[in-house]
């Protein structure tokens, strides 16, 4: 059975521009795309913790090293310049996929890389019912 799994993740990238008049997509520097194995035209899920927006679009390569993350088209109405976002792409496989993940700083430089999806530790809840 094929299972849909996380394969690529860029966490806490900062949107540097929003271009409402472009036909669509999100522009991502080629070096970031390469770091997480994203292809030009690949579908990505974009999540914005700033305002709760979630949308799907496709990745478009921008100049490597530029740090330019640009929301294009209608998505520019949902996610604005300076918003922090997480971009994810998924793959299908019968075996587990070792996801390529990076965390960015405010200049969209990679500050951390990781492989796979780690187990999360959940703090003990103090909420009583």
Q: Which residues are catalytic?
A: 25, 58
Q: Are 28 and 42 in contact (CB under 8 A)?
A: no
- How far is residue 6's CA from residue 69's CA, in Å, rounded to a whole number? 21
Q: Are 24 and 74 in contact (CB under 8 A)?
A: yes
**Residue showing tokens 């690529």:** 8
Q: Provide the 3-class DSSP secondary structure of residue 32.
A: helix
């Amino acid at each position: 059975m094929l299972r849909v799994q996380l394969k690529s993740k860029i966490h806490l990238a900062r949107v540097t521009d929003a271009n409402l008049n472009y036909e669509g997509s999100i522009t991502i520097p080629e070096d970031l795309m390469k770091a997480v194995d994203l292809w030009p035209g690949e579908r990505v899920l974009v999540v914005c913790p700033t305002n709760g927006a979630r949308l799907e679009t496709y990745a478009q390569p921008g100049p490597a090293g530029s740090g330019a993350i640009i929301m294009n088209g209608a998505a520019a109405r949902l996610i604005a310049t300076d918003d922090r976002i997480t971009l994810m792409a998924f793959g299908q496989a019968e075996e587990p996929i070792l996801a390529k993940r990076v965390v960015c700083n405010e200049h969209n430089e990679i500050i951390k890389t990781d492989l796979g999806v780690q187990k999360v530790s959940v703090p003990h809840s103090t909420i009583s019912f």
